[in-house]
Amino acid sequence: MKSMKNKLILLVLLAFWVSAPLLAEDGDYFQSADGMNVYIGILPAEMVKDHRIVHQGREGIGTREQHLVVTLVDQASGQRIEDAKVAGRLRHEGHASEFLPLEPMEIADTITYGNFFSLPEEGAYSLQLRIERTGEPTTEVEFRHRHVQ
């Protein structure tokens, strides 16, 4: 019973956390590009590492890993974009990671995209996203994130 309660609490928290950016007007975690709104969220990996609703579980989460979540919304219809291929990479003080695919995740009957990233140091990071949709040009957006440990 405790496990079911924990899963329910996580689901409610994730649903709120994932949908909250849709109401925010914070330019640091929202951009419009090529007819879509792109929202990001970054939270400690420990919050989601053991829950099967995200990436079918994950072994070996480091204390400096964060979980990136991306939500895509079509500007014209207001509907979630659930058929994209999304990849992201981080840059910090001249060092860049390779693009990693962001996996589709079903949370609260919607699709978001996410993956784990290492942010080993405090400071300013640049997050580059590459979004591919069938029949559309590839969209690239860049966000700034200040990481504090």
Hey, what domains does the chain have and what are their CATH numbers? 2-147 (2.60.40.3340)
Query: 47: pLDDT confidence band, cut at 50, 70 and 90?
Result: confident
Q: Please report the pLDDT score of residue 14 as a whole number.
A: 52
pLDDT band at 148 (very low <50, low <70, confident <90, very high): confident
When pLDDT is averaged across residues 18-26 and rounded to a whole number, the result is 42
Query: Distance of CA 140 to CAs 33, 55, 106, 146, Å?
Result: 8, 24, 23, 20
User: For 133, phi and psi rounded to 5 degrees?
Assistant: -130, 145
> What pLDDT is attached to residue 132?
97
Distances (CA, A) of 124 to 27, 68, 140: 16, 16, 19
pLDDT value for 17:
46
Per-residue model confidence as pLDDT tens digits over 90-142: 888 767 778 999 999 887 888 999 988 888 777 888 899 999 999 999 999 99
pLDDT band at 12 (very low <50, low <70, confident <90, very high): very low
